[in-house]
Structure 1
């Protein structure tokens, strides 16, 4: 019995050391700030960070598990039938923890690129995915290719400031294929014309062959990135919200229970169809207070195979009553 107890103590110590290292190195907190956040003395915080270094947990990234996060990952995988889930410790009070999610998303993407397989990675766009690319170190990816999963121009035909495909190509030297059209066509007829263009059709055909689809999750709230970037007009998004739309994944909307939500906007989306997203390896990077309802909506849809999120969001998802 005493041996088991000692093992648990060691696990708790390792978990706390990993958390302290996350806050210090990824979160940018000083050792005294780490101590205050974790309710420890400054000396104890210093020893934990030193332990993380001595145990080899701190490299370019922080390689270790926080026990509380692992428990949340297990619960989310079980509840939403996920093959992969990563919950990162929170280290800021922002409604949208871009740094925490960006670091974790970059780490995941780097692992996928470095597998050495000839992999086609389809990517969405948005603030969170842009943060992932920002924290991705320059990584040679001679066997990887990237392809846009949806249009990346705004209504004014200017570049989406959160389009990530060009930055991915620049960081990795990999081939990248873009869709040179807006995310939403002006009319259904315009959509058909654009989809019929040779270059556009070929890119979407490539997107359908993606081994991994890396996506963000959008909200229909006022803070929606689609509205802020000019991809969607505010009255259009308000119409979606009034009708019951809650979450958005790769241009498609879902209600609070995860059921597909079709709005007039849906018929004009320049993206893969819902039928092309079913039973695919879709991993979303999303979290933050403003996204909790949207993330839950998309999880309930059962389109996702994987989720990278923050601890606060994960806890809210786990504590919520399951739908049905």
Structure 2
């Protein structure tokens, strides 16, 4: 008796890949090509593709949402701004980028972080070691950096982690930039603040942590924001300092915050008690970089930005027209 023919039925629970629906991306690609490459308007595209204009709009929005299309203005446009030149002359910057304010964005961060995100890859070279600060501004910028491979790049977290429901932890900023730029990521796997100095000192001597701290000291380039010292400051919202603490340090002259460390209006340290229990880059280690990009956006940012500029923490500045004008007023 002949052996039964083998069954062609798929075992239960096994998906037949040949029967999976194939996503047809052709309309999105075609609409994007006609609009961005061929220069057709939306009505012309609708007529050519025999669809409604509303469908064309949807296709174009979807193409951008999927990251297939990225539209940006050359950063040279903003670096040639009159205010950019004045900032460089007044504050000794290598370069400055000034974008127009957006009246529909009261916080003023959206355009600045987008412009800084487009600019950052052009400031990097193969073999660079990029140190990354934290905060909402840095995180927002990191989200918008285009995919751009920088050979042999190392991206390093500059300060320890701090549990907070703010959505922009230091490790997230670093990891995101490393992924976007194709770099090796070195996270600092320790809390930002320990309960006492002895524990902090002991943890810093652990071989893994010691190696990570040695790595952050080798950064030749940095990207940072300088926080404010008001009651709603990042260091307050993340629980590093209390509202009373920040008010007391403000009375002592504190005007800015770099990597959780306070500086006065001239960029000099205002040492907080918590610093002896803190693990992260020192203010001295933040100076003397080949490139240090400060992203300064939003109302009330001029004084803290000026403190960072005067302290020697910045070589490149990305900001808005209003902050740039305030910076020039403060220098008058």
What interval of TM-score do these two structures reach, taking the shorter chain for normalisation?
Answer: 0.7 to 0.9
The Cα offsets for residues 9-29 of structure 1, whole Å up to 9 and x where unpaired, read as xxxxxxxxxxxxxxxxxxxxx
| Alignment-derived partner of residue 152 in structure 2 | 143
| Alignment-derived partner of residue 171 in structure 1 | 180
| Alignment-derived partner of residue 320 in structure 2 | 310
Residue pairs, 1:74-89, within 5 angstroms: 74-89=85-100
Could you tell me how far 1:123 is from its partner in structure 2?
Answer: 0.5
SS in 1 for 2:267: coil
| Alignment-derived partner of residue 297 in structure 1 | 307
Could you tell me how far 1:59 is from its partner in structure 2?
Answer: 7.3
Cα distance 1:91–1:71, how it changes in 2: closer, same or farther (>3 A)? Answer: same
| Alignment-derived partner of residue 210 in structure 1 | 219
| Alignment-derived partner of residue 63 in structure 1 | 74
Residue pairs, 1:61-210, within 5 angstroms: 61-63=72-74, 70-113=81-124, 115=125, 117-154=126-163, 160=169, 163-210=172-219
Q: RMSD of the TM alignment (CA)?
A: 2.7
| Match among 281, 285, 288 for residue 279 of structure 1 | 288
Q: How many aligned positions are there?
A: 262
Residue pairs, 1:245-260, within 5 angstroms: 245-260=254-269
Could you tell me how far 1:234 is from its partner in structure 2?
Answer: 3.4
Could you tell me how far 1:101 is from its partner in structure 2?
Answer: 1.8
SS in 2 for 1:167: helix
Cα distance 1:79–1:297, how it changes in 2: closer, same or farther (>3 A)? Answer: same
Could you tell me how far 1:203 is from its partner in structure 2?
Answer: 1.3
Unaligned runs of 5+ in 1: 1-57
Structure (1/2) with the larger helix percentage: 1
Q: TM-score, normalised by structure 2?
A: 0.71
The separation in 1 between residues aligned to 2:70 and 2:115, in whole angstroms, is 14
Contact 1:81 1:302 in 2 (8 A): no
The separation in 1 between residues aligned to 2:98 and 2:283, in whole angstroms, is 27
Contact 1:145 1:174 in 2 (8 A): yes
Could you tell me how far 1:225 is from its partner in structure 2?
Answer: 1.7
Could you tell me how far 1:110 is from its partner in structure 2?
Answer: 2.2
SS in 2 for 1:76: helix
The separation in 1 between residues aligned to 2:304 and 2:148, in whole angstroms, is 32
| Alignment-derived partner of residue 44 in structure 1 | none
Q: Which has the larger radius of gyration?
A: 2
Cα distance 1:67–1:224, how it changes in 2: closer, same or farther (>3 A)? Answer: closer
The separation in 1 between residues aligned to 2:168 and 2:140, in whole angstroms, is 17
Could you tell me how far 1:211 is from its partner in structure 2?
Answer: 2.0
Could you tell me how far 1:93 is from its partner in structure 2?
Answer: 5.0
Could you tell me how far 1:259 is from its partner in structure 2?
Answer: 2.7
Cα distance 1:96–1:182, how it changes in 2: closer, same or farther (>3 A)? Answer: farther
Cα distance 1:248–1:93, how it changes in 2: closer, same or farther (>3 A)? Answer: farther
